[in-house]
Every structure is written in structure tokens, then in C-alpha cells.
Structure 1
């Protein structure tokens, strides 16, 4: 028996997809997805090929391995081979927003505790969030990163406001999210996406503002 059913279920969970939305991506029925996950049937090779290509996962891994969250997000080449995050005590657990979640822009902050988590070597007590960058996510024209980069944002702290000038940041509320650049305008700090969209920083809404902390990008050799 292959691992395809278990991996389809894991892919759905990590990407926050329902059985129906997953089925729609690959032109099969919701019942098909249910059958695959319950190991009552297996997808045709052309469907497996589509899934592997869409998620950039080798077909052999999709069929034979129990995929981890880090493999699905392509974090596997960050760590030493043969050490699949065994010592997670020394890693930070960070909520992860996939491209599918971000494209929906629905109840983003409200569902934070329901998202899958990434374990990554960030060592401080501040709050972080990780995003799967995609072209549908609003970002300044000079934003230097492309799909499928994973972006790590640190919650903005009052004591660091003077350090964010001209730095990239994130604005995240229930139904809106965009990446902008922090700029000082007279006596106000604004996060600017472009000349048409920007938001003035408000200390009472500081929980909605983040600053770019680090970036993970898979390098193909």
C-alpha cells in the first residue's frame, strides 16, 4: 500500500484546503479525495503527477514517504540530512499561513490557532508569523522576493518603532493583509503598499503590524 492517501490528507491540512477545494484543483470529485484518504482507492498516475507538480514534491516521495510539514513547505533542505527536526525543543513554533489561506483573506487573525505550525530556528520571545509568499499578496514594486519564498514576520514592538524606517512590514487583520514599507511622514509612521494604499500606524492597533524578520528561499542546485 502506498502513502498517497495519507500524504493527500497532510497536504490538505498544511495548505488549509477542504476535500472539495482540493478536488477542484485536480479535477476530481470530493468523493474521490475521501476515498484516497481512507485508503479505499488510489488516484490515477496522471492525478498523482498533477498533485506532485502543483506542490513541487517528487512523485516518488508523494507515493512512498510519510511527508512532513517541513517537506511540504520545502524546508527539508535547510536542515542536515537524516535529522528531520528531532530536537524541536530548540526551535520556535510559528503559525503558518499558506498561499491558499492568504488568497481567501477571511478571518485571518481569528483563525491563527488553527493554522499548521512551522518549527524554525528563531530564538527570541517575540511573536512571529510565517507566510507563503505569492503574487496575489499585495507587496511594494521593489519587494525582492518571489514565489515560493517563506517570509517570517516579527510582531512590531513599541521599543523598535524608530528602527523600522524604510523596512518591509506586514499589516494583518481579519479580512485584509498586505506587505508594505514603513515610512515616516511628518509625525506619523505609515506602512505603504503603493501610492494608492497605505495605513497609518496606530498604537492601539499595534497587534496588526509586523516587521520582516527573515526569509527562507529554496535554492535549486
Structure 2
């Protein structure tokens, strides 16, 4: 049943053969041979797949897996007619560290998020196709009591470029031809100045024409609960970054 189960797992998770093969360091042709029962996998490969999807090795090899099992539904429960709830969550494109470069290149080229392949997140009470999610991956905005740490996530709402003045003194996500920045913005005529919280990070000044997209931060999700220990770690990281920045200056 291994080949048949692989196809079903891919279908349930919306993965192409290429995506699935790369996840387990396989060639797409090798995966195709497994799915068509033209080749038998190594035990190591079977165990990797079983562990990744939390499936028993015996079940993966010998039983026809059901969609319910793959989605962790209880098959012993019988239900009546399924009706769609009036309010369903809207998927929000999420920019992770791994997808940041793709987003910069894709948005600059197409100026349309829908044409960029990004993972989606689904959150209650957050809707709208004018939003993006960004996973913080550095310490540039870590200063202050409400600073952001890696793995925190923000939700930004798109601002038309002709309304850029409305984001003055707001926390924003800005995309240019070469960068994606989470900063506090100041608007000064035909220029914007993007400031970081971290004392070792210099402000970025841009002409408004250099701004290709802008999103005002409207929601924040913390990866960890703020504690005194978190704050100490944050301050130590800031100090290390400041020292590293100073060492790069002439005459250090």
C-alpha cells in the first residue's frame, strides 16, 4: 500500500511530487517510482516519512490510509449533514525567512501577492485579502518594552502608495526592489525614513518612488510570553549587535 498511501498523503497536504521529494531528499523520479510501485523504498526513507506525518510504519506499508486518519479525525464518530459555517477563516499569505527573497523578487515584478507562492495562515478575527503576515527573523526592532524578537509574527494591512502619508509615525512593513523592512516610518515630503528600535541599526532613508509596497502593522502575535528572562536575553543580544556594529566602523 506504500505507493498508494504516498499519493494520498500528497493530495491531503496539497504537495506536488517535487515538493514532497525535496522534503525527504529524494529525486522526483524516485518518488514517482515509489508511487507507481516500480521501486521499493529504503527502510530509512519509510521511517522518515512515517515520523514526519506521525503515521505508524506498519500502517504506511500495509494499510490503505483514509483521509480521516491523515487529518486525525475520529472515524468512530458519525455525523449528520455537514453545513458550511457562515464565517470561515481567510488565508493570509505569510512571509517566512525562507520566502523573503521570493517575496521581494515576486512583488517587485508582479506587484501582486496572489502571484507569489507563499504559505497561508488562518486566524480567527483576522480577515481580508489586503493583509500579509511576516515572521520576524532578526533583532532590528527588538528595543524597548514592546520590541519584537525572532519568531514573533505581525499582520500588516496594505496601504495604497498614494496614501503613504497616512502611515506617518506608524509601524510598517516596506518592500523595495532589494529589501523587506519592518520599521517605524516617518514621512517627510517625498522621502520616508525608516527607523529601527535597536540602537546599533542606522535609519534607512528612501524616496517615495523606491517604496514598492507598504503595509501598516495592525496585529501582533508573540512567540513567547514576555518575562524578565526574555528581556535580559534581548538586552544581551542588543549589546552584542551594537558591539559588532561598532567594530565595523573605521578607527575601531
TM-score range, shorter chain: 0.5 to 0.7
Pairwise CA distance, 1:112 = 2.4
The structure where helix makes up a greater share of residues is: 2
Provide closer, same or farther for how the CA distance between residues 105 and 52 of structure 1 changes in structure 2, counting only shifts above 3 A.
Answer: farther
One of 26, 29, 32 as aligned partner of 2:27: 29
- Are 2:195 and 1:200 equivalent residues in the alignment? no
Provide closer, same or farther for how the CA distance between residues 102 and 185 of structure 1 changes in structure 2, counting only shifts above 3 A.
Answer: closer
One of 118, 133, 155 as aligned partner of 1:130: 133
Higher normalized contact order (CA 8 Å, seq sep 6+, divided by chain length)? 1
Partner of 1:120: 123
1:1-221 equivalence runs, <5 A = 1=1, 3-8=5-10, 13=15, 19=18, 23-24=21-22, 26-35=24-33, 38=35, 40=37, 44=42, 46-47=44-45, 50=48, 59-60=54-55, 65-66=69-70, 87=85, 89-104=87-102, 107-109=105-107, 110=110, 112-114=113-115, 115=117, 117-123=120-126, 127-131=130-134, 133=135, 135=137, 140=140, 142=142, 144-147=148-151, 149-156=152-159, 158=163, 160-162=166-168, 164=170, 167=171, 169-173=172-176, 176-184=178-186, 188-192=191-195, 195=201, 198-200=204-206, 202=208, 208-216=213-221
Provide closer, same or farther for how the CA distance between residues 200 and 183 of structure 1 changes in structure 2, counting only shifts above 3 A.
Answer: same
Structure 2 length as normaliser, TM-score?
A: 0.50
Q: Distance in 2 between matches of 1:25 and 1:160?
A: 43
Structure 1 length as normaliser, TM-score?
A: 0.55
How many residues are paired up? 186
Q: Distance in 2 between matches of 1:200 and 1:90?
A: 39
Could you report, residue by residue, the CA deviation over 1:127-157 in whole angstroms, capped at 9, with x for unpaired residues? 10124x374xx6615162334x554221136
Instruction: Answer yes or no: is the 8 Å Cα contact 1:182–1:189 preserved in 2.
Output: no
Could you report, residue by residue, the CA deviation over 1:153-193 in whole angstroms, capped at 9, with x for unpaired residues? 211363742450xx3x22235x5342321243766532246
Q: Give ranges in structure 2 of 5+ residues lacking alignment.
A: 73-83, 225-252
Instruction: Answer yes or no: is the 8 Å Cα contact 2:158–2:214 preserved in 1.
Output: yes
Q: Distance in 2 between matches of 1:155 and 1:122?
A: 17
Instruction: Answer yes or no: is the 8 Å Cα contact 2:21–2:27 preserved in 1.
Output: yes
Q: Distance in 1 between matches of 2:96 and 2:139?
A: 16
Q: Distance in 2 between matches of 1:49 and 1:101?
A: 28
Equivalent residue of 2:155, what SS?
Answer: strand
Q: Distance in 2 between matches of 1:12 and 1:108?
A: 22
Select the structure of larger CA radius of gyration.
2
Q: Distance in 2 between matches of 1:181 and 1:216?
A: 17
